[in-house]
Structure 1
Amino acid sequence: MSTEILVNIGPQETRVALVENGAAQEIHIQRASRHGLVGNIYKGRVQRVLPGMQAAFVEIGLERTAFLHVADMVPTQNANGEPLPQPPIGKLLSEGQDVLVQILKDPLGTKGARLTTLLSVPSRYLVLLPFEPHAGVSARIEDEAERHRLKDIVAGLHQRLCPQFGVIARTAAEGASEDALAHDLEFLLRLWTSVSQGSRMAQHGTLVHGDLPLSMRILRDLLGTDVERVRIDSASEFAKLKQFALDFVPGGAHLVGLYEGHAPIFDLYGVEDDIGRALTRKVDLKSGGHLVIDQTEAMTTIDVNTGAFTGHRNLEETILKTNLEATQAIARQLRLRNLGGIIILDFIDMKNEDHRAQVLRALEKELKRDPARTQVHDFSPLGLVEMTRKRTRESLGHILCEPCTVCEGRGSVKTVETVCHEITREVQRAARQFEAKAFLVLAAPQVVQRLTEDQPMGLAELEAQLNRPIRTKPEATYHQENFDVVPL
């Protein structure tokens, strides 16, 4: 599989696309006015402790107070994987107490950021855990021989350099030498010393340590795994990233190059078009079927439809082929749109149990390439597949879009006929309330047209009933649901 990273630098925005086999799989966006906060460390102050929820609200200087649960303050299981009892939140925190916290999840909608006191500081190959003294290796490294090699190296470095801290080898550590890992750990220890000293001097509600800028973070996390090339469309940013790669990822520095093409870099492989399509509800499948994706605050639903695909043999084969094709599109859209939380998949109904099992296996296979942790459940009695995907940052739709000012996020507006009936009722209400000689109705042009041209008898009947004239005036600035009834 060929993998490239495209970096687009704008005056106030950085965009990064991860492209696999010529198709965009992930889009990362960072804007000067709206930085992602995950990984940032703050000195916070506890505002409220909620014993009934085993949680607290912490002020860290953001627009909304952040949320801290007891499960994010103490380990939930021991070294053998057995669950540990959670202490009462009141024994760990009190109102007005200063606490060093790290953001686990960005603020989303009306919810504040989610916090943890179990801090982690990542570098290229390792993650330092200042308050969890143990050593380990990422579960995403599957080769047993490599796991044993890394365990031995990490355990030795941990014991020699920082037995009071915890150290985890990241996925990028696969194949790294002991010297490279030791250099990484020494860098992390110096960084943590700086963070720790800075936190003691900081006022509450201030940032103590921020993560790297997006372009450098992507290089740190991805360069050297399966990436074949990194292209950047800014000469100044290219120089910075090249130096960063030489300092921290020397084995992959030769992959970083300056893009000097005439076309915008995101026009390569149709990335710009993919972003546009990722904001629509409908996703077409090559066979003629399609997906319909609806994202709400509680969950995301994905409906699979055969559409124009009728197959060549029988209905069951048509359904199976569409559902199998849909698993590929679903896995890609989850990554591209960065959809997280609870996800409900409504595949086309299959009566054959073997076909259901085949679709589930195909879905799980496609999701293995997703770096976010996913969990897929079996078909429910209603034929739905429930799954979860770890959510750490805002979805692409939340970053690029806002609720429609006309429908206020409902996704639909009242019909012209419905608005006409509402106007009729409002005129009747005003007639009972005011001693007016006449009424003026201000509404959108299409609504006025329906009132005066398409249904003139209805307005005439109302005038006869009230024994008062009703005038209408179209207002081009009114959207379809807006209207005013003015007593004259």
Structure 2
Amino acid sequence: MSTEILVNIGPQETRVALVEGGSAQEVHVQRASRHGLTGNIYKGTVQRVLPGMQAAFIEIGLERTAFLHVNDMLATPANGGAAPLITQLLHDGQRVLVQIVKDPLGSKGARLTSLLSIPSRYLVLLPYEPHVGVSARLEDEAERGRLKQILDELQQRLAPNFGVIARTAADGAEPVALEADLLFLLRLWDDVITQAEPAPPGTLVHGDLPLSMRILRDLLGTTVERIRIDSASECERVREFAQTFIPQAAPLVELYEGRAPIFDLYGVEDDISRALERKVDLKSGGHLVFDQTEAMTTVDVNTGAYIGHRNLEETVLKTNLEAAQAIARQLRLRNLGGIIILDFIDMKSEDHRAQVLRALERALAADHARTQIHPFSPLGLIEMTRKRTRESLGHILCEPCPACSGRGTIKTVETVCHEIAREVQRAARQFEAKGFLVLAAPHIVQRLVEEQPSGLAALEASLERPIRLQAEAGYTQENFDVVPL
């Protein structure tokens, strides 16, 4: 399967699409006003210690204070013992060096760790945890042994007080490349420490690479055929960065000079638009419905217009197998994380359930994010988790609807009319007014005048005061005001 990386550079926004087999599988967005913060290292100040939660709030210069739990601190319990009390490790006003592991999301502040780590192309440097490890995604035991042996030698010779982990990208890497990577990380850590010492609290000590360069580290794989960038200056910068740190990637970087926007290739722009919709159509005629909440994401599978050619069980199996492929792609494309509940169409056959579960596992195998899938529950649901380290595509590109405040529904016209009547009655008891002025959306006023005139007249008679209506074009359906006169 051919794989390309498309990079769109705008004045205040960088977008990256990973295209596999002619369709977008992942989309990454970085905006000048809203950079992703995961991986950034800050010098912070302990604002408040919470003994009951074994955690602390840390001020690092962001809009909201960040959260640090005792399990994410340097002092890890030895021999599986109990974690030390947070009050033994931190106190109010203390200055600490911390790293963001989860971006702020909604009303929640960033999640922090003091177990700092700095990644490069092949390795991750752990300044405070002196051990050697290999990524669990590297399953070949011979390759794991080879990397472990190389890293053991490099650590003892170059970084005896540091920990080193081989990333998935280190698969097949030569010892000289791994050594160069480790030397680069050690130089980078020296720079971090040099900047952190005199820095005041709230200072960003180390930030991750810009998105256009970070893709070479995070998305580049052996199957990537080329990286196309639509900005000549950024293309040159990325190529220079690649020549220095990832020489084998430099020949893959090329300038896109086509007349059409780069994201019109392979329909990426259309894929992004569809990824913001609740409903996803399947080729068979069925469809998926995605609902994302604070606690979890649910996905409902429906047969829709598909009626099949044999029997109901075959129709359901075919739809569910197609849905498994589409769900895996949409989870990557939308970058949905946390708890995910999949409601496939009910299947009586255990063999059919096993087929759908295997299809889902195969489809998720290419996902860069770690996933954990549980078998069908007694209710016929699949529960799974997907590691969440950055905001979803919907959170980045969208905001709650001002009319419904994110509920997805609004009150009916009739409901609003009854609310207006109750608010007028409430105002009549509270104010000694000669009458009342009701300001509401034009179609609400029209409903009160044309369809509920008897109700309005009865209300005026009961209050013995006039009620005047005024249409306001700027009001939404649910908005209204009652003004005593």
**What is the TM-score when the length of structure 2 is the normalising length?**
0.97
From 136, 154, 159, the counterpart of 1:157: 154
What are the Cα deviations for residues 212-236 of structure 1, in whole angstroms up to 9, with x where unaligned? 1011011122335321110000001
Partner of 2:124 in structure 1?
A: 127
1:295 maps to 2:296: no
- Describe the SS at the equivalent of 2:56: strand
Residues 377-416 of structure 1 mapped to structure 2, 5 A cutoff: 377-416=374-413
Partner of 1:457 in structure 2?
A: 454
The count of residues paired between Structure 1 and Structure 2 equals 485
Distance in 2 separating the partners of 1:206 and 1:48: 19
Partner of 2:165 in structure 1?
A: 168
1:117 maps to 2:114: yes
Structure 1 stretch displaced more, 188-197 or 140-149: 140-149
Partner of 2:64 in structure 1?
A: 64
Distance in 1 separating the partners of 2:275 and 2:197: 44
From 192, 211, 215, the counterpart of 2:212: 215
- What is the CA-CA distance between 1:465 and the residue it aligns to? 2.9
Partner amino acid, structure 2, of 1:427: V
What are the Cα deviations for residues 237-289 of structure 1, in whole angstroms up to 9, with x where unaligned? 01101111111111121110000000000000111111111111111111111
Distance in 1 separating the partners of 2:336 and 2:201: 33
- Describe the SS at the equivalent of 2:360: helix
Distance in 2 separating the partners of 1:364 and 1:279: 24
Distance in 2 separating the partners of 1:70 and 1:90: 10
Distance in 1 separating the partners of 2:453 and 2:313: 53
- What is the CA-CA distance between 1:63 and the residue it aligns to? 1.0
Structure 1 stretch displaced more, 280-289 or 374-383: 374-383
Distance in 2 separating the partners of 1:445 and 1:384: 45
- What is the CA-CA distance between 1:77 and the residue it aligns to? 8.6
Distance in 1 separating the partners of 2:75 and 2:24: 37
- What is the CA-CA distance between 1:18 and the residue it aligns to? 0.6
What are the Cα deviations for residues 16-39 of structure 1, in whole angstroms up to 9, with x where unaligned? 011111111111111111111111
5+ residue gaps, structure 1, are none
Partner of 2:16 in structure 1?
A: 16
From 352, 355, 359, the counterpart of 2:352: 355
Partner amino acid, structure 2, of 1:193: D
Task: Check conservation: 2:24, 2:268, Cα contact below 8 A.
Answer: yes
- Describe the SS at the equivalent of 2:197: helix
Partner of 1:448 in structure 2?
A: 445
1:48 maps to 2:48: yes
Task: Check conservation: 2:74, 2:128, Cα contact below 8 A.
Answer: no
Partner amino acid, structure 2, of 1:216: M
- What is the CA-CA distance between 1:352 and the residue it aligns to? 1.9
Task: Check conservation: 1:172, 1:222, Cα contact below 8 A.
Answer: no
- What is the CA-CA distance between 1:40 and the residue it aligns to? 0.7
What are the Cα deviations for residues 393-418 of structure 1, in whole angstroms up to 9, with x where unaligned? 11111111111111111111111000
Residues 449-488 of structure 1 mapped to structure 2, 5 A cutoff: 449-488=446-485
Task: Check conservation: 1:223, 1:249, Cα contact below 8 A.
Answer: no
Partner amino acid, structure 2, of 1:305: N
5+ residue gaps, structure 2, are none
Partner of 1:336 in structure 2?
A: 333
Distance in 2 separating the partners of 1:384 and 1:366: 18
- What is the CA-CA distance between 1:76 and the residue it aligns to? 6.6
Partner of 1:199 in structure 2?
A: 196
Distance in 1 separating the partners of 2:45 and 2:39: 18
Structure 1 stretch displaced more, 32-41 or 83-92: 83-92
Partner of 2:37 in structure 1?
A: 37
Partner of 1:141 in structure 2?
A: 138
Distance in 2 separating the partners of 1:387 and 1:367: 11
Distance in 1 separating the partners of 2:387 and 2:133: 21
- Describe the SS at the equivalent of 1:52: helix
Partner amino acid, structure 2, of 1:55: A
What are the Cα deviations for residues 403-443 of structure 1, in whole angstroms up to 9, with x where unaligned? 11111111111110000111111222223333434332221
1:228 maps to 2:225: yes
Partner of 1:98 in structure 2?
A: 95
Identity %: 78
- What is the CA-CA distance between 1:84 and the residue it aligns to? 4.9
Distance in 2 separating the partners of 1:144 and 1:228: 28
From 427, 430, 433, the counterpart of 2:430: 433
Distance 1:275 1:107, change over 3 A: same
Task: Check conservation: 1:220, 1:248, Cα contact below 8 A.
Answer: no
Task: Check conservation: 2:77, 2:84, Cα contact below 8 A.
Answer: no
Distance in 2 separating the partners of 1:357 and 1:68: 41
Distance 1:83 1:327, change over 3 A: farther
Distance in 2 separating the partners of 1:302 and 1:185: 43
- What is the CA-CA distance between 1:372 and the residue it aligns to? 0.5
- Describe the SS at the equivalent of 1:442: strand
**What is the TM-score when the length of structure 1 is the normalising length?**
0.96
